[in-house]
Structure 1
Amino acid sequence: MRFLLLENHFTWSHKYYENCVVHKDKTTAVLSKHAEHRNLFALRACCRRQAHYVYIGQDISGSPVNVDVGMCRTHCGAVPSGALPETGTQQGYSKHSSMLEYLRSKRVRVREPSTNTERPGQTPSCGLNHNCAPTGMRVQRVLLFEGPREVEVIVDCQCENKLNECVRVPAVKTYFFETPYEKVIDVGSCATVKGSPDGFSCVPTKFDSALVTTPNKLDLVRTVEACELKESCYRVPYVEYYYEMVYHADGVKEEKLKEIDVGRCLGGCTTGNRCLLRSPSDSEVCHLWAERPTNSCLPLGYDSHMFLNQHGQIRTVLSISSCLCQS
């Protein structure tokens, strides 16, 4: 009898445990599904385009031209200005020497633009493994007094994955927007790599081109085909072709096409921050820049290629073997 009771108790406990496991699995599935929806909301809604006007010059009439190039900002989890409640009017202006000073301080706070700063220790709006980045760009052509100029305008923003390796990622740009010649081209860009070594960045090393039809002529747009993790100043291939005369042992002369990778130096060499005075209301606006000699990415080493040209003369072509930042 005692053994039968123990067996029944074991059977009931086992069924209860199974029910708990099934309930737990269902709960986990529901929570994970809810988390996916929340992440999808964060990817779409927590990273938005905001207006950002930039002065680019004067038009042919002499009027200033400001273009809304836009910027991508996160806003979920932000603490809006004035969100912290005050515990009474007396406590609000008790820190100031007079009521006039208190009103002045309130007016200054109202004038300052609200910044979307996330609470310390809070997960960023896009998540730890995402960046708020543009998903589409529009190339806007503006006729200025100095001549035509192309301005890249952000169309939309979205949280994008942070990648661990240097790869080419899509970068869609629209040319001749809202015209019969409108064309969308994936010009490509290089991903931002997490934890890349100091002084190294993911940069384009191979390029291609795409044709854009215009009312006057064909425009050539350069596109990125491949990226590599390199230093700020780096060498990229650049092939040139020459005609070479070759004399064989039997005395026969042959004209051949000679391919030489002469190379190019790309990248920037300016290090540090040259801004000495920033705007108190907008940290992206610099009022005073430091004068500093600019460094250039210039050839460091070279190779020499000698051959006979079509006229039987010796031709020498130098090719870049390495690049370095130099003053």
Structure 2
Amino acid sequence: MPAATEITAGLVMAANSAVPAVAILLRRQLREAIMYRLLASVAAAQVLMGVITALVGTLRLLPTPPGWACASLLLLRSALGTSTVVSLLALSVERYVTVVHGLRYFDIVTDRHRLLLLAASWLVAAIFWVFGMALRVAFGADDSSVLVRPPRAVGAVAAAAAPPHLEIDAADAALDVCCRREQHFIKVGVDASGEDLVVDVGKCRRHCHHIGGLSRKEFLQLLEEHSDTDPIQLYRRLQQRQSSCRLASHCQPLETAMQRHYTLEGAVTSEVTRRCGCVRRPAGCRRRRRLVTFHPGTPHERTLDVGGCAGHCPGVDDSCQPLRNKTVSIDGPNGAEVVSAIEECICTHGCYRMSLMEQVYDYTDSTAAPRIKEVDVGQCVGACTPDQMGRDCVWSDPSDPSSCLMSLQFQSLGCVASDSKQHFYRTQDGHERALLSIGRCSCH
């Protein structure tokens, strides 16, 4: 979070926690009860956590925050959080003795035991902090906790401190750590030796989380690797990288390849993920870019944008589905091959109509050259959902006739045309033919 927000949150937390602590300390009856002493201990730890949070935010405002101070304060804040848990555990033990062994309470919970319960939480916090600092020293961390801030722009540089958007190229791909490809092996068949043929098709996995900053050492290393880049531009580009795959984005394949594997059962084609990236989900249903490489590593290698459908649909059961496709011809080792690419998407569900164009020559006017008649004949795709299945209602709700209380479900033939239209044309030899176009699809 921003430094100013962190300071404000810390101060508010400290002020809110100080109220019960002060109230318990001012009243003698509350101070004498071990339950309220433990509650005061929890409140005091929360006050210290708020103060430490405000101090960390203040240190982040410095041009060069001291690494040892940041690490010490962050470890101390975590230790205080642990102490509150121990205090609540001690309070639970004390309440248990009060309820179960009420008559023997003062024999069990003596003054010595009360002091031990109070000291336990702070002793655990101290051990936690010392252990954390010892690990930090043992592993040689020096300034790894320093949060790098962008270089300050002065004078005329500050007025022009808004650099244009920088594209992310392949040379800087190592900076994008949010979404990356991982190994994913699947069995595609049996090879000539009789052993299972296992292929790494890959998968995209999201490793995105809020990144507070880089260490000074890491940032200086980046400056050395990009010495010809302005530090301000480098920092802002890095910030864009780190926030490129947040909750509104999805880790998805950016480029895949259709690889062919030869097994005893014949040729098997599998889609292999090559590159992953963070893709922001569009507000509405729309086509998104999807690159697929066909015949990789061969003289017929070709990369096409076959497209994909993604985005939010307002309907509860609706999803973003293809509405219109086009075919693209590519060369392969056995001649021309046809690849289907998505052109348009729509929000729908279950059985629906998809566009399918057909063109014919129409010789209706024999005195003129034939004209091209283009008709969207359509096709029915998708699976029938329960709400699309046909049924005969035998008992309706008297108060609401549209609500069916009992029905006879009959078997559906699948997603087929329920409305159609004929488009007539004349062939070159004078015969009249018709193209049947689907108007609507439903489950029958």
Q: Same fold (TM over 0.5)?
A: yes
1:155 matched to 2:274? The reply is yes
- Secondary structure of 1:150's counterpart equals strand
Q: Give me the whole-angstrom Cα distance separating, in 2, the residues matched to 1:266 and 1:32.
A: 54
CA contact (8 A) 1:270 1:294 kept: no
TM-score, with structure 2 as normaliser? 0.43
CA contact (8 A) 1:75 1:125 kept: no
1:128 matched to 2:260? The reply is no
Q: Can you give the 5+ residue segments of structure 2 that lack an aligned partner in the other structure?
A: 1-57, 62-146, 152-171, 210-242, 387-410
Structure 1 residues 245 and 31, CA gap change in structure 2 (3 angstroms): same
- Offset at residue 189 of structure 1 (A): 1.0
Structure 1 residues 315 and 180, CA gap change in structure 2 (3 angstroms): closer
> Paired residue for 2:179, among 47, 70, 75?
47
CA contact (8 A) 2:327 2:339 kept: yes
Task: Output one character per residue of 1:20-64: Cα deviation in whole Å (capped at 9) or x when no partner.
Answer: xxxx9x96xx99969xxxxx9999313222222222333466543
Structure 2 counterpart of 1:263: 378
Q: Give me the whole-angstrom Cα distance separating, in 1, the residues matched to 2:262 and 2:414.
A: 30
Q: Give me the whole-angstrom Cα distance separating, in 2, the residues matched to 1:255 and 1:212.
A: 30
AA matched with 1:73: R
Q: Give me the whole-angstrom Cα distance separating, in 2, the residues matched to 1:170 and 1:320.
A: 29
- Secondary structure of 1:226's counterpart equals strand
Structure 2 counterpart of 1:141: 260
- Secondary structure of 2:176's counterpart equals helix
- Offset at residue 143 of structure 1 (A): 2.4
1:174 matched to 2:259? The reply is no
- Secondary structure of 1:163's counterpart equals coil
Q: Give me the whole-angstrom Cα distance separating, in 1, the residues matched to 2:300 and 2:363.
A: 46
Task: Output one character per residue of 1:231-253: Cα deviation in whole Å (capped at 9) or x when no partner.
Answer: 332212222233444368xxx68
How many residues align? The count is 226
Task: Please give the residue correspondences for 1:230-245 in structure 2 after superposition, counting only pairs within 5 Å.
Answer: 230-245=348-363
1:68 matched to 2:200? The reply is yes
- Offset at residue 177 of structure 1 (A): 1.8
CA contact (8 A) 1:42 1:126 kept: no
AA matched with 1:226: E
Q: Give me the whole-angstrom Cα distance separating, in 1, the residues matched to 2:439 and 2:175.
A: 44
Structure 1 residues 150 and 268, CA gap change in structure 2 (3 angstroms): farther
1:305 matched to 2:423? The reply is yes
CA contact (8 A) 2:328 2:341 kept: yes
Q: Give me the whole-angstrom Cα distance separating, in 2, the residues matched to 1:194 and 1:243.
A: 41
Q: Give me the whole-angstrom Cα distance separating, in 2, the residues matched to 1:313 and 1:230.
A: 39
> Paired residue for 2:327, among 204, 209, 218?
209
Q: Give me the whole-angstrom Cα distance separating, in 2, the residues matched to 1:216 and 1:307.
A: 36
Q: Give me the whole-angstrom Cα distance separating, in 2, the residues matched to 1:221 and 1:142.
A: 19
Q: Give me the whole-angstrom Cα distance separating, in 2, the residues matched to 1:312 and 1:180.
A: 46
AA matched with 2:351: C
Provide the alpha-carbon RMSD of the alignment. 3.9
Q: Give me the whole-angstrom Cα distance separating, in 1, the residues matched to 2:419 and 2:250.
A: 38
CA contact (8 A) 2:308 2:342 kept: yes
AA matched with 1:135: L
Task: Please give the residue correspondences for 1:3-22 in structure 2 after superposition, counting only pairs within 5 Å.
Answer: none
Q: Which has the higher contact order (CA 8 A, sep 6+)?
A: 1
More helix by proportion, 1 or 2?
2
1:200 matched to 2:318? The reply is yes
- Offset at residue 170 of structure 1 (A): 0.9
AA matched with 1:261: D
1:226 matched to 2:344? The reply is yes
CA contact (8 A) 1:51 1:68 kept: yes
**Identity over aligned residues, as a percent?**
33
CA contact (8 A) 1:53 1:67 kept: yes
Q: Give me the whole-angstrom Cα distance separating, in 1, the residues matched to 2:379 and 2:177.
A: 42
Q: Give me the whole-angstrom Cα distance separating, in 2, the residues matched to 1:195 and 1:33.
A: 39
Q: Which has the larger radius of gyration?
A: 2
My pick for the range that moved more, 206-215 or 160-169, is: 206-215
Structure 1 residues 215 and 307, CA gap change in structure 2 (3 angstroms): closer
- Offset at residue 166 of structure 1 (A): 1.5
AA matched with 2:441: C
CA contact (8 A) 2:313 2:347 kept: no
Q: Give me the whole-angstrom Cα distance separating, in 2, the residues matched to 1:200 and 1:132.
A: 22
